[in-house]
Chains A and B, each alone.
Chain A
Amino acid sequence: MTVEIIGTYATAILLLIGSGFVAVGVIGLLKFNDSMTRLHAPTKVGTVGIGALLLASVAHSMVLGELSMHELLIMAFLFVTAPISANFIAKVNIHLRSCETPPSPPLDDTWATLNAPDDGEDTTQGAKSA
């Protein structure tokens, strides 16, 4: 009986924490006015926000007596894939010059995203022949 009560409270608290962080992430997304700063908001939602909601799901399944571990996998996949989408959005921002231009790297010529061939025609021809 006590385990059930503790589980229920844990579920409720984790749900509150998770939805709190998701709310803050959404506020950040709406509030910031630059695409690069906006990018910071979803990283919060993707980590602690979703993490707490999924842990709430685990705790709830424990209360019901059918322990479910799928949530851990969801978390693992989210942690692996979230940086990649963030990286792609950042690359698009750099490429479109829709943000402050980054300082050039100290050791190499340029950033990988900006390292495009100067002649646009060459690339299209290469794509056609390939």
Chain B
Amino acid sequence: MARAVQWLLPHPYLTLLLAVVWMLLQNDFSAGMVVFGIILGIVIPRITSIWWPDTPKAFHLGKMMRYSLMVMWDIMVANVEVAWIVISVPNSKLKPAWVVVPLDLRQPEAITLLAGTITLTPGTVSADLSDEGHSLLVHVLHTDDPDGIVDDIKTRYERRLKEIFQ
């Protein structure tokens, strides 16, 4: 039974996501659309499962939700801060900096999420990964304290992502 479920739903969260996206696309939340969305959510991961070789071993949906809410809040706060920097700081006083974040995360999915979070949060853009994937290069728009930014990224985002994928 468990194996049948495993065969039918190789990526349960992807199934859920596809069903929700289908309903949003149709803009219709009736029972028929729910059923069709679930059918799509089962068929698409099934026929594309060859191209998903390494599923992350664990993924905590609840923690991920909390993480996304926190990131959205951070985006709003940082947006106001950066808007203020854009308006008030003259070019000559701007202190852009490269910052290197050593990574504890090893899963590619987790590193992708971390890089995406850093880029979406205004004021920082993740630029590159080192060739073996042990550190992340981040460009900061304006900072007096580059080490503080690294600490912030590590404690605020990386630690939580580690918990999500543990």
Q: Is the interface of A mostly helix, strand, loop or mixed?
A: helix
- Segment with Cβ contacts to B, from A5-13, A36-44, A121-129: A36-44
Q: Is the CB of B127 within 8 A of A87?
A: yes
> Interface 1/0s, chain B 108-143, versus A by CB < 8 A?
000000011001101101111111111101010100
B24 at interface, CB cutoff 8 A:
yes
Size class of the contact patch on chain B: 35 or more
Could you tell me the distance in whole angstroms from the C-beta of B20 to the nearest C-beta in chain A? 9
* Bound Cα distance A123, B154 (Å): 37
Interface residues of A in 78-125 (CB under 8 A from B): 79-80, 82-83, 86-87, 90-91, 93-94, 100, 102-103, 105-113, 115
Q: Is the interface of B mostly helix, strand, loop or mixed?
A: mixed
Residues of A within 8 A of B (CB): 21, 24-25, 27-28, 31-34, 36-37, 39-41, 43-44, 46-48, 68-70, 72-73, 76, 79-80, 82-83, 86-87, 90-91, 93-94, 100, 102-103, 105-113, 115
Q: Could you say which residues of chain A place their CB within 8 Å of the CB of B94?
A: 32, 37
Instruction: Given A48-B79, A73-B24, A102-B127, check contact A40 B132 (CB 8 Å).
Output: no
Instruction: Given A44-B83, A102-B137, check contact A39 B130 (CB 8 Å).
Output: no
B100 at interface, CB cutoff 8 A:
yes
Cβ-neighbour of B120 out of A32, A34, A79, A102 (below 8 A): A79
Q: Is the CB of B125 within 8 A of A106?
A: no
